[in-house]
């Protein structure tokens, strides 16, 4: 796990000092080493930077940027099956001087070109300079676990693991993208490929970008699409076959992610996903695996007792950190620095705290995200399935007519209004986005000056398949909320986070399974729960689902209320020229009267204001 940066400058203004500033701005992603490479070509100046967090091959031979076969690379992530690919390449006559997966990427690209990406099992974002072909390639993994931003404006192309590197370049124009700002207030995050700044984007999951240095232009290519996984259905499999294959894939994914030359641990919440991952890893090892849990003083937000029971049953080397609410509150001012794009998921606070605790003993930690989205784990999915089933029975024009008629009478009922919006959209894939929006488009138009939007924001593939509900969640919520949270929180403390449940082979399998085998007899996440019960008694696991949450709203209505006074004054809001203060004031009054409808908006506005002070002032 590392941090990468770089530039392609057709103005020939940027040089090595610029590259050094960009690279050093993300030192937290790789405190173990640093490397810079730059080239002056006839038409452009190129720079590659790398911050190293040593995980595999800790020697100098693993240092980056790395060069081989006339190829140069700066790489963030892990190729978990690199040993198998390395052996295949050795059989083809290739020789290696290191034990790193980075060198394997270079030889694989030399052999198979961009198609080498189809061989990789892993999480990755890397830039590769092909000197002979005069092209630069940017790759991002299938699930979007590893971030990759790029900026293209005034003949300058920048790329980096985090936006903060771009702020080191004087020509970087920090012009807000109002559509992305609207999306933030609608969902609490900004979906790929959008970005908070104009001319700035995130590379999509399962895509690579080819920059032609001769032409001075680039194009993007899709090499993997989660929606393609939905198109084939495995209807004839028995439940036993489904369980056997699922467990086999999960075990393989977990074992791949245990390969490391540095200490490794597992985040254990005591919920089904983290407990199952821990069980699958511990069952094949005699040495106790290290597990980590964060405990809160407030029992309403504390899962530590459940995690301790699981750890005791599995006999792990368990570690628990008791966190005071004061410690949690102290993270709020840091959010804008940890997330250099507005980000509204408050669970980044406990994620940061547990990452910080784990980093005291290990360099790599396994998380268990992805189970809910791939195997139907949220109760809201059941409502989505019912709604989608109704829509599929009706022609599009009937759905749209129902939505139009309903919208005329539902303005005071937010739940019904979302239902009518779904009918109007008449796209199964849109249901999760409509369900989870915090502000309707009409409200956003009232809030943000100069913005006019309709419906939900985001690029949603059209589908009538109910499995596309979860493919849409995988493509948007998983990539742009959960993965951003985990990556930024972990890397802020120089911890590598690994995600076994986001192995692309699991997605390809899970999205082909019929819904009836993933949700059965009113049991959410049926397959994963059955696998878990093989190793942990049901009576230990059987409890209500609990999110990784903290009471930020209670804090803002209590001893942190000064933040509201500090960031929500009429003078401040009006001076920004972005928002209509009357809308903000209306929600402030509701918030002070403890109206739940305004709580999320107030938190998101606070997050944005802190971000604004950090990155735009």
String of DSSP letters for 433-485: HHHH-SS-HHHHHHHBTT----S--S-------TTHHHHHHIIIIIIIIIHHH
Please check the confidence at residue 409 and state whether its pLDDT lies above 70: no
Residue 545 scores a pLDDT above 70: no
Q: What is the pLDDT of residue 59?
A: 62
pLDDT at residue number 57: 59
Indicate the class that CATH gives domain 233-549. alpha beta
**Quick one: pLDDT at residue 53?**
84
Residue 51 has pLDDT above 90, yes or no: yes
242 vs 515: CA distance, rounded Å: 12
Contact 131, 213 (CB under 8 A): no
pLDDT in tens, 178-192: 999 999 999 999 999
- Select, from the ranges 451-465, 482-496, 547-561, the one with the highest average predicted confidence (pLDDT): 482-496
Q: Considering only residues 427 and 156, tell me which one the structure prediction assigns the higher pLDDT.
A: 156
pLDDT recorded at residue 236? 80
Per-residue pLDDT reduced to its tens digit, 582-601: 999 999 999 998 888 899 99
Residue 319 CA to residue 217 CA, distance in Å, equals 51
pLDDT at 460: 65
| φ, ψ for residue 339, nearest 5 deg | -110, 100
Domain 2-224 fold is 3.60.20
Does 205 have pLDDT greater than 70? yes
Q: Is the pLDDT of residue 261 over 90?
A: no
* Confidence category of residue 411, pLDDT binned at 50, 70, 90: low
* Tens of pLDDT, residues 224-259: 999 998 877 777 888 999 999 999 999 999 999 998
Residue 60, classified by CB atoms within 10 Å of its CB into exposed (0-12), middle (13-18) or buried (19+), is: exposed
- Range(s) of the chain covered by CATH 3.40.50.620: 233-549
What is the percent of the chain with per-residue pLDDT over 70, rounded to a whole number?
A: 95
Which pLDDT does position 56 carry in this prediction?
62
pLDDT at 404: 82
Rounded distance, CA 64 to CA 168, Å?
21
pLDDT tens-digit series, residues 331-389: 999 999 999 999 999 999 999 999 999 999 999 999 999 999 999 998 899 889 999 89
For residue 31, list its beta bridge partners. 52
**Residue 234: what pLDDT?**
72
By annotation, the residues acting in catalysis are 2
Q: How confident is the model at residue 284 (pLDDT cuts 50, 70, 90)?
A: confident
Kindly tell me if the per-residue pLDDT of 47 is higher than 70. yes
CB 129 within 8 A of CB 212: no
Mean pLDDT score of the chain, rounded to an integer?
Answer: 92
Which helix or strand (DSSP H or E) is residue 248 part of?
Answer: helix 239-256
Instruction: Please check the confidence at residue 541 and state whether its pLDDT lies above 70.
Output: yes
| b/e burial code for range 269-280 (CB count within 10 A of at least 16 → b) | bbbbbbbbbbbb
Q: What is the pLDDT of residue 58?
A: 61
Please determine, for residue 1, whether its predicted confidence score (pLDDT) is greater than 70: no
What's CA 301's distance to the chain center, in Å? Answer: 23
3-state secondary structure of 48: strand
Query: Which two tokens mark 90?
Result: 């050795």
Instruction: Report CA torsion sign: 140, 144, 148, 152.
Output: positive
CA distances to 191, 469, 497 from 123, in Å: 19, 24, 10
Q: Which of 415, 464, 458, 461 is nearest to 435 (CA)?
A: 415
pLDDT in tens, 502-515: 999 999 999 999 88
pLDDT above 70 (res 424):
yes
CA dist 540 and 284 (Å) reads: 21
Domain with CATH 3.60.20.10 in the chain: 2-224
Query: What integer is the mean pLDDT of 404-423?
Result: 79
CA distances from 325 to 403, 490, 551 (A): 44, 20, 9
Mean pLDDT value of segment 52-80: 86
Q: Which of 608, 458, 491, 616 is nearest to 160 (CA)?
A: 491
């Amino acid at each position: 796990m590392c941090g990468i940066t770089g530039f392609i400058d057709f103005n020939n203004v940027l040089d090595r000092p610029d590259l050094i500033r960009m690279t050093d701005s993300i030192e937290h992603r790789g405190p173990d080493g640093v490397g810079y490479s730059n080239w002056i070509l006839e038409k452009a100046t190129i720079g590659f930077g790398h911050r190293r967090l040593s995980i595999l091959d800790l020697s100098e031979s693993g240092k980056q940027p790395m060069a081989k076969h006339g190829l140069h690379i700066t790489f963030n992530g892990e190729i978990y099956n690199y040993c198998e690919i390395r052996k295949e390449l050795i059989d083809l006559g290739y020789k290696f001087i290191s034990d790193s997966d980075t060198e394997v990427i270079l030889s694989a690209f030399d052999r198979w070109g961009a198609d080498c990406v189809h061989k990789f099992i892993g999480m990755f974002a890397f830039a590769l300079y092909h000197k002979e072909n005069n092209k630069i390639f940017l790759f991002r993994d299938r699930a979007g676990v590893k971030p990759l931003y790029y900026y293209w404006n005034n003949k300058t192309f920048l790329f980096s693991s985090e936006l903060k590197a771009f702020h080191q370049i004087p020509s970087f124009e920090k012009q807000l993208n109002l559509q992305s700002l609207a999306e933030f207030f609608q969902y609490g995050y900004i979906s790929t490929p959008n970005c908070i700044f104009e001319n700035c984007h995130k590379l999509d999951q399962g895509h690579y970008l080819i920059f032609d240095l001769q032409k001075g232009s680039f194009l993007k290519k899709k090499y993997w699409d989660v929606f393609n996984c939905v198109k084939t259905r495995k209807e004839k499999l028995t439940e036993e076959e489904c369980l056997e294959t699922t467990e086999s894939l999960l075990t393989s994914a977990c074992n791949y992610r245990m390969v490391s030359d540095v200490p490794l641990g597992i985040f254990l919440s005591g919920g089904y996903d983290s407990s199952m991952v821990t069980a699958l890893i511990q069952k094949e090892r005699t040495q106790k695996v290290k597990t980590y849990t964060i405990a809160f003083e407030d029992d309403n937000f504390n899962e530590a007792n459940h995690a301790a029971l699981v750890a005791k049953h599995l006999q792990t080397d368990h570690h628990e950190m008791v966190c005071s609410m004061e410690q949690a509150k102290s993270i709020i001012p840091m959010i804008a620095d940890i997330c250099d794009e507005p980000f509204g998921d408050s669970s980044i606070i406990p994620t940061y705290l547990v990452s910080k605790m784990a980093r005291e003993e290990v360099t790599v930690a396994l998380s268990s995200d992805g189970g809910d989205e791939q195997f139907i784990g949220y109760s809201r999915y059941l409502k989505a399935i019912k709604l989608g089933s109704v829509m599929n029975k009706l022609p599009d024009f009937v759905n749209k007519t129902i939505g139009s008629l309903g919208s005329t009478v539902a303005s005071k009922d937010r739940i019904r209004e979302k239902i009518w919006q779904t009918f109007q959209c008449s796209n199964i894939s849109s249901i999760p986005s409509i369900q989870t929006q915090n502000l309707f488009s009409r409200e956003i138009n009232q809030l943000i000056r100069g913005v006019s939007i309709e419906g939900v924001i985001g690029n949603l593939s059209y589908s009538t398949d109910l499995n596309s509900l979860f493919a849409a969640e995988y493509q948007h919520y998983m990539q742009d909320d959960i993965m951003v949270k985990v990556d930024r929180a972990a890397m802020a403390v120089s911890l590598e986070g690994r995600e076994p449940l986001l192995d692309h082979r699991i997605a390809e399998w899970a999205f082909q399974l019929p819904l009836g085998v993933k949700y059965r007899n009113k049991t959410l996440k049926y397959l994963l729960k059955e696998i878990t019960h093989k190793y942990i008694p049901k009576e230990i696991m059987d409890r209500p689902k609990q999110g990784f949450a903290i009471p930020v709203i209670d804090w803002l209505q209590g001893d942190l209320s000064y933040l509201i006074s500090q960031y929500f004054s009429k003078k401040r809001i009006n001076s920004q020229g972005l928002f209509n203060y009357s809308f903000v004031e209306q929600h402030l009054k509701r918030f002070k009267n403890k109206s739940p409808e305004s709580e999320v908006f107030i938190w998101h506005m606070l997050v944005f204001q802190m971000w604004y002070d950090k990155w735009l002032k």
